[in-house]
């Protein structure tokens, strides 16, 4: 009986939330949890209500309770990742972001968000693992070049020039639009030295690679033709 009653209370709480009656919604979600203590969705809804009210610690508590019940709950992990970002607790944010990516195989934008944060923190091993996974999970063959670009950026940061050269050559083979040409020219100079042909600077190449990552995300968001 408590299950059916709990679902009814949840429906009413969500209706109150949609109507903008936040106090009634909050009371409804709490009542639903009394009837169904293990309901992760009610915990997450309550967490977002507390966060919107500026009660961050209470919100974190609800999100963590949701994770206790479902260790791969993406909604709770995303919320915690964003909170940790706001607190500048970037290592904790990355841990949550990586868990989200692992719980959502095939979700390329989520994986790219985790990769961006890993690069920001110079956590290159984690970033490399993400780009390798994205390469296997992205169903669009023409997107292969973007994963290569991510891997090249990592090797540039490590200054492993021979490995970066191998990746740049591979990327050039699948790059129908020639976006890797400048990257390859830069890496060649690092391996073989300067030539008569001018090469782009490292800053220019890093900007190109950052733009490539941004373009990959926009393609998956449907904002590019």
Domain harbouring 39, CATH code:
1.25.40.10
Examine residue 146 and state whether it is found in any structural domain, yes or no.
yes
Q: What is the Cα–Cα distance from 128 to 99, expressed in whole angstroms? A: 16
Q: What is the Cα–Cα distance from 52 to 133, expressed in whole angstroms? A: 35
Examine residue 195 and state whether it is found in any structural domain, yes or no.
yes
> How many domains does the chain divide into?
2
Examine residue 12 and state whether it is found in any structural domain, yes or no.
yes
**pTM for the full model?**
0.78
Examine residue 156 and state whether it is found in any structural domain, yes or no.
yes
Q: pLDDT tens string for the chain (225 positions)?
A: 356 776 788 888 889 888 888 899 999 889 988 888 878 889 999 999 999 999 999 999 999 999 988 887 888 998 999 999 899 999 999 999 999 998 888 899 899 999 999 999 999 999 999 999 999 999 888 899 999 999 999 999 999 999 999 999 999 999 988 889 999 999 999 999 988 788 899 999 999 999 999 999 899 876 544
Examine residue 6 and state whether it is found in any structural domain, yes or no.
yes
Domain's final residue, options 17, 45, 70: 70
Size of the chain in residues: 225
Domain's final residue, options 70, 100, 127: 70
Instruction: Report which of 155, 150, 151 is spatially closest to residue 191, judged by C-alpha positions.
Output: 155
Domain that holds residue 176: 140-220
How many Å separate Cα 167 from the centre of its chain?
23
How many Å separate Cα 144 from the centre of its chain?
18
Domain's final residue, options 70, 91, 124: 70
Query: In angstroms, what CA-CA distances link 217 with 120, 126, 167, 182, 224?
Result: 16, 18, 21, 21, 10
Examine residue 122 and state whether it is found in any structural domain, yes or no.
no
Q: Look-up: residue for tokens 């970037």? A: 90
């Amino acid at each position: 009986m408590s299950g059916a009653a709990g679902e009814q209370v949840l429906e009413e709480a969500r209706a109150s939330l949609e109507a903008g009656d936040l106090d009634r919604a909050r009371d409804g979600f709490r009542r639903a949890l009394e009837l169904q203590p293990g309901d992760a969705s009610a915990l997450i809804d309550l967490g977002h209500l507390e966060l919107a009210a500026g009660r961050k610690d209470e919100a974190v508590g609800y999100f963590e309770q949701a994770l206790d019940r479902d260790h791969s709950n993406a909604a709770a992990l995303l919320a915690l990742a964003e909170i940790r970002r706001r607190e500048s607790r970037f290592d904790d944010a990355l841990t949550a972001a990586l868990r989200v990516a692992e719980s959502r195989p095939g979700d390329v934008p989520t994986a790219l968000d985790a990769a961006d944060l890993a690069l920001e923190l110079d956590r290159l091993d984690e970033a490399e693992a993400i780009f390798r996974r994205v390469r296997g999970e992205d169903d669009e063959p023409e997107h292969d070049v973007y994963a290569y670009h991510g891997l090249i950026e990592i090797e540039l940061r490590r200054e492993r020039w021979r490995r970066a050269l191998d990746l740049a050559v591979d990327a050039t083979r699948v790059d129908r639009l020639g976006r890797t040409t400048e990257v390859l020219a830069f890496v060649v100079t690092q391996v073989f030295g300067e030539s008569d042909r001018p090469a782009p600077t490292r800053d220019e190449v890093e900007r190109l690679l950052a733009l490539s990552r941004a373009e990959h995300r926009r393609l998956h968001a449907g904002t590019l033709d």
